[in-house]
Chain A
Amino acid sequence: MGILKRLQQEIDEREKHEGVTLAELLDLSPPLRRLMNRVTRYGELTVAQAAEMLEETPENTAKMLNKLVDNGFLLREQRAEGWVYQVHLARKRGTSLPADLWTPLAEQIESPEAEASDSEGAPPALDTFRHIGEIQREKPQDP
């Protein structure tokens, strides 16, 4: 089976969705990954450049690139010089960590005086850390 046939099969097998993640690129077959690496690194790719990489005719290459667009790997833009393809990176999804997980950080930044309050479990104020350098037996020597 020719390389393009195999790549088209690989593209078809992927469940169609918006954009690819970088993690997904790691799992692609080497020729498809090479193509995606290149478009990610340089921002865009023309049909001629892709054809050269794959050692294929521009017509066959264009067909494959359009398949990549249809399956959410690439975006396509019409320019004066012809179609230009860009990587379609998927949005990074959020985590389900509790929203208030970072409140202690806000407390550190917003009220360094929190140090004074000895409420149970209060985090040490940032100022404590700022002065660590002074809690030394001797003055530091210049190395």
Chain B
Amino acid sequence: MSKIISIHSFRGGTGKSNISANVASQLAQRGNRVGVIDTDIQSPGIHVLFGMDDEQIDKSLNDYLWGRCKIEETVYNVSARVGKGEVIVMGADIFLIPSSIRAGEIARVLREGYDVSLLNEGFRALVSRLNLDYLVIDTHPGLNEETLLSIAISDVLFLILRPDQQDFQGTAVTVDVARKLEVPNLFLIINKALSSYDFDELKQRVEEIYDSPVAAILPLSEDVARMQSSDIFSLRYPDHPVSEAIRRVVDYVEAVGK
């Protein structure tokens, strides 16, 4: 059975796009057919992690939402792009559905709105027409219609938070929303944890606060920051502690529904 995985956070800059791209790539490396969709229409970005720029993106999610094309026409096979020239053997294909980074397109979708049911149908159509094992949804921070929809239809929801008071408060809101929308598998991921913290204690505290399991804690890493989202970190540096934590997240994904 195919699964929809949403990656969300209440606040911005928590690492959603980096974690989405890494989890998707690790799933593909393990032999799963994976789609990654950028529903962050107002501030898209995940295409960068797969080495794509404006010139390489012809049709995007925006075209589909405007009824200008079928959802299949917005799909890019990015399997050969990950790893930036170093040969990384992927077990199966990975597909990206980018949002447009053209100013006119972003302005239009924000000004005129769009048909949310088309987005809902698009998710389902991608899973069945691309024959996906997993569809990973990268979201806009906070709660808008796109993120609420992606939460409502997800089989697995990962909520990312940093060890920061503002993140702690906001995450409580999203956990509550996820419960109301009856998400069957909700996990927290703590990102950018200082290495001086006691990770076991942090995990226990956070699990108590939200009454939800913590799938992994990723350390704050200068190595990740230095990569500037230009590649898939966990494929480049598989032995790094951040990559180990990503693989733990992927273990949780693969365990769901087994």
Bound form: Cα–Cα A104–B110 in Å? 16
Report the Cα distance A92→B113, complex, angstroms.
5
What is the interface residue range for chain A against chain B?
A: 35 or more
Chain B interface, >50% SS class = helix
Give A contacts to B, CB under 8 Å.
Answer: 19, 21-23, 25-26, 33-34, 37, 40-41, 43, 87-97, 99, 101-106, 109, 132-133, 140, 142-143
* In-complex Cβ contact of B152 among A25, A88, A96 (8 A): A25
User: B residues engaging A (CB < 8 A)?
Assistant: 54, 101-104, 106-107, 110-117, 120-121, 124, 143, 145-146, 148-149, 152-153, 177, 180-182, 221, 223, 226, 228, 230, 237, 240
A92 near B116: Cβ-Cβ < 8 Å: yes
Measured in the bound complex, the distance between the Cα atoms of B149 and A90 in whole Å is 12
Contacts of A133 in B (CB 8 A): 226, 228, 230
Contact A91 B113 (CB under 8 A): yes
Closest to B53 in A: A109
The answer on a CB contact under 8 Å between A102 and B107 is: yes
Contact A91–B115 (Cβ < 8 Å): yes
A101 near B107 with CB under 8 A, answer yes
Cβ of A95 and Cβ of B117 under 8 Å apart?
Answer: no
Give the residues in chain A near B117, CB-CB below 8 Å.
Answer: 19, 87-89
Name B106's contact: one of A23, A89, A105 (CB within 8 Å).
A105
Please state if B181 and A95 are interface contacts (CB–CB under 8 Å).
Answer: no
| A97, B148: Cα distance in complex, Å | 22
- Assess A41 versus B152: contact at CB under 8 Å? Given A87-B120, A94-B113, A99-B111: yes
Known contacts A25-B152, A143-B240; is A97 also within 8 Å of B102 by CB?
A: no
In the complex, what residues of A have CB within 8 A of residue B226's CB?
A: 133, 140
Starting from the known contacts A90-B116, A109-B54, 20 additional A-B residue pairs (CB-CB under 8 Å) come to A22-B116, A25-B152, A25-B180, A40-B149, A40-B152, A41-B182, A43-B120, A43-B121, A89-B116, A89-B149, A92-B115, A94-B112, A95-B111, A101-B107, A105-B103, A105-B106, A106-B103, A109-B103, A133-B226, A143-B223
What are some 18 contacts across the A-B interface (CB < 8 A)? A22-B152, A37-B152, A41-B152, A43-B121, A43-B124, A89-B149, A92-B146, A94-B112, A94-B113, A97-B110, A99-B107, A102-B104, A105-B101, A105-B106, A109-B101, A109-B102, A133-B228, A143-B223
Distance to closest chain A CB from B72 (angstroms): 18
Smallest CB–CB gap between B153 and chain A, Å?
Answer: 5
Say whether B148 contacts A23, CB under 8 Å.
Answer: yes
Indicate which residue in B120, B143, B221 contacts A89 across the interface (CB closer than 8 Å): B120
Is there an interface contact between A132 and B228, defined as CB atoms closer than 8 Å?
A: yes
Q: How far is the CA of A106 from the CA of B114 in the complex (A)?
A: 22
Say whether B114 contacts A91, CB under 8 Å: yes
A residues less than 8 Å from B112 (CB atoms): 94
Let me know if B110 and A22 touch, CB within 8 A. no
